[in-house]
Amino acid sequence: MPNVLPPDFADLEPFADWAIPTERARYAKRVASTMDELQAFYDAAFPRLQAATGYLEELSLDDIAEDEKRLLWLFCALVTVAFPVEAWRQPRVPDSGAASIDAVVEPAI
Amino acid sequence: MAHFPKPAEGSWTEHLKIDTEPVSYADSITPEHYELERDAIFRRTWLNVGRVEQLPKAGSYFTKELDAARTSVIVVRNLKGEVRAFHNVCRHRGNKLVWNEFPREETSGFCRQFTCKYHAWRYDLDGALTFVQQESEFFDLDKADYGLVAVQCEVWEGFVFVNLDAGNTTPLRDYLGKFGKGIEGYPFHKLTQVHKYRAEIGSNWKLFIDAFAEFYHAPILHSGQYTPDEARKIQKYGYEALAYDVDGPHGLVSSWGGIAPPNDRKMVKPIEGALRSGLFGPWDAPDIGLEELPPSINATRNPLWGMDSFVFFPNFMLLIWKPNWVLTYHYWPTSYNTHIFEGTAYFVPPKNAFQRLQQELAAVSFKEYGLQDGNTLEATQTMLESGTVTDFPLNDQEVLLRHLHRTALQYVRDHQERTAATAS
């Protein structure tokens, strides 16, 4: 399969299915995942985010390439996944039951 | 354990001349009382239905479902560039004029005129009836008599408001009072990057305002936002606001800075440290060209200030954060024990991918903690409805709750008096 992320982030290709363009779909994938799956994604992606501050600061949103867009969405997914991994210890927000809060407007990129 | 000084009276509640007795929630648990509120409050006050950025050019429109006010409105920018509002009803046989696929869902778009799906009656952007299908079949029909029913509509600082009371004589700016005037000049128009969330909540609308009008709950319900050691420290510390104020039906809580950025990096979770952002917003404030905050924002000019939360009666909350971003909350009742909650974050458009991720973390944090609030409200609603307990002690950090319920009750009483006077 051809790579979909920028070459510098080839090590994250196994997690390319997290490069999802909307918050609602990222959250849906999170709550449909096991903690092991979330932990594996977090363990691979978090150190890369930490090291990529400079790269991301140089990345303008005006003329962003498709592979860079996917990297941005993958890191957006990491933001969503960080809550269960770092705080909740479960995919869903504790005590949130059947409640949902859905994104209805969000940035195009 | 006072961290911040209180007024000379010893409490904010007494300072603001509000009683300190236990509070009843009888105003939140019956269909009968809700029916009174619909007419007394939602059909008589200025309601914020959106922002001017949603109407970028002549012909841009959106609809807003106002179930509590028993109507739906169309908000549109006309050819002169003015923002106007109309009841969303065709004058022919009462069909909802603007909707897509699902009659109860809101919609938006751009058009040169509104055409009814039923019999193709057409209205221009000022609501005038311009075309009647088979006009000659009607009996002495004068199109000038059948324009859309206009709704009072005014704009304050880019926020679009409507008032369903045709007899209303209070201009929006007067209604918003000293808080509104004291916020004017804040560059809301520069905060055009929008993340909006919507939720159906199983509680009375006032209970969610209650939840967001006090931060007494934050160190407990939302302790998960801190590392365990820090959560314990913060629980011991509790919560005190910098200041509270009320003006007519409206309220304000001014809060200290929290963790944007934190004094101690140990307080924050790894993702927050990596992105320099969190529930309180990105730690690096973008330039919004403001040399000094308008007078109502951080009114006490406290250096520890972090956020002001304005409660504009009945259902619009405006949160202005120190790192130059804004959150709005709206609570749209759909029955006595349900409502639709909208939370919208406004940021300066990000210059790069890192800033985009900082904003994503702030918006998603709001959602995560909002989910905790939302379900807790349903738990509260069910037990209030049980009627087992009827009097609830509220503390001084919950003064805005007393003010909200007192105000809402006063609107209902005034309405009942007016109705009785008309009937007799």
Q: Could you report the per-residue pLDDT of A6-53, keeping only the tens digit for each?
A: 999 999 999 999 999 999 999 999 999 999 999 999 999 999 999 999
User: Is the confidence at residue B259, as pLDDT, over 90?
Assistant: no
3 state DSSP class of B119: coil
Quick one: B48-169 is in which CATH superfamily?
A: Rieske [2Fe-2S] iron-sulphur domain (2.102.10.10)
CA distance B89 to chain A (A): 25
Q: What is the residue-averaged pLDDT of chain B?
A: 93
User: Is the confidence at residue B42, as pLDDT, over 50?
Assistant: yes
Cross-chain residue pair B270–A86, CB shorter than 8 Å:
yes
Question: For residue A20, which phi and psi values (nearest 5 degrees)?
Answer: -115, 130
Mean of the pLDDT values across residues B304-329?
96
Residue B315 at interface with chain A, using a CB cutoff of 8 Å: no
Cross-chain residue pair B352–A59, CB shorter than 8 Å:
yes
Chain A residues within an 8 Å CB radius of B274:
46, 49-50, 53
3 state DSSP class of B22: coil
pTM: 0.95
Does domain B12-39+178-423 fall under CATH 1.20.90.10? My reply is no
Query: Residues with Cβ < 8 Å from B287, sequence gap 6 or more?
Result: B324
Q: What is the pLDDT of residue B258?
A: 64
- CA pair distance B253, B210, nearest whole angstrom: 12
Q: Quick one: closest CA in A to B231, which residue?
A: A87
Chain A residues within an 8 Å CB radius of B200:
100
Q: Answer whether B225's CB lies under 8 Å from B215's CB.
A: no
Cross-chain residue pair A101–B269, CB shorter than 8 Å:
no
Chain A residues within an 8 Å CB radius of B344:
105
Q: Answer whether B342's CB lies under 8 Å from B198's CB.
A: yes
Mean of the pLDDT values across residues B325-353?
97
User: Is the confidence at residue B247, as pLDDT, over 90?
Assistant: yes
Q: Answer whether B303's CB lies under 8 Å from B167's CB.
A: no
What pLDDT band is residue B213 in, cutting at 50, 70 and 90? Answer: confident
- CA pair distance B282, B276, nearest whole angstrom: 6
- C-alpha radius of gyration, chain B, whole number: 23
> Kindly report the CA angle at A109 between A16 and B284, in degrees rounded to 5?
105
Among B222, B258, B184, B173, smallest CA distance to B372 is for: B222
Cross-chain residue pair A101–B198, CB shorter than 8 Å:
yes
Among the partner residues A87, A93, A104, nearest to B197 by beta-carbon distance: A104
Cross-chain residue pair B269–A99, CB shorter than 8 Å:
no
What pLDDT band is residue B1 in, cutting at 50, 70 and 90? Answer: very low
Cross-chain residue pair A102–B351, CB shorter than 8 Å:
no
Among the partner residues A56, A80, A93, nearest to B352 by beta-carbon distance: A56
Least confident of B41-55, B204-218, B382-396: B204-218
What pLDDT band is residue B226 in, cutting at 50, 70 and 90? Answer: low
Chain B residues within an 8 Å CB radius of A83:
364, 368
Sequence ranges of chain B with CATH classification 3.90.380.10: 12-39+178-423
> Kindly report the CA angle at B209 between B256 and A96, in degrees rounded to 5?
95
Question: pLDDT, tens digit, for every residue of B77-123?
Answer: 999 999 999 999 999 999 999 999 888 899 999 999 999 999 999 99
Question: pLDDT, tens digit, for every residue of B279-294?
Answer: 889 999 999 999 999 9
Dig out the tokens for B387 from the structure.
């009627």
Chain A residues within an 8 Å CB radius of B355:
57
Question: pLDDT, tens digit, for every residue of B135-167?
Answer: 999 999 999 999 999 999 999 999 999 999 999
User: HSE-up of B330 (CA within 13 Å, CB side)?
Assistant: 22
Q: What percent of chain A has pLDDT over 70?
A: 99
Chain A residues within an 8 Å CB radius of B372:
93-96
Among the partner residues B196, B275, B353, nearest to A59 by beta-carbon distance: B353
Chain A residues within an 8 Å CB radius of B367:
101, 103
ipTM of the complex: 0.98
Q: What is the pLDDT of residue B22?
A: 94
Cα→Cα distances B352→A68, B144, B348, B406, Å: 12, 53, 12, 47
Interface of A with B (CB under 8 A): 23, 46, 49-50, 53, 56-61, 64, 68, 71-72, 75-76, 78-80, 82-83, 86-88, 93-97, 99-107, 109
Interface with A, mutate which of B368, B377, B378, B381 (most A CBs under 10 A)? B368
Q: What is the residue-averaged pLDDT of chain A?
A: 95
User: Is the confidence at residue B413, as pLDDT, over 90?
Assistant: yes
- CA pair distance B99, B97, nearest whole angstrom: 7
Cross-chain residue pair B353–A57, CB shorter than 8 Å:
yes
Q: What percent of chain B has pLDDT over 70?
A: 95
For chain A, the domains span: 16-88
Mean of the pLDDT values across residues B396-414?
96
Q: What is the pLDDT of residue A99?
A: 81
CA distance B169 to chain A (A): 34
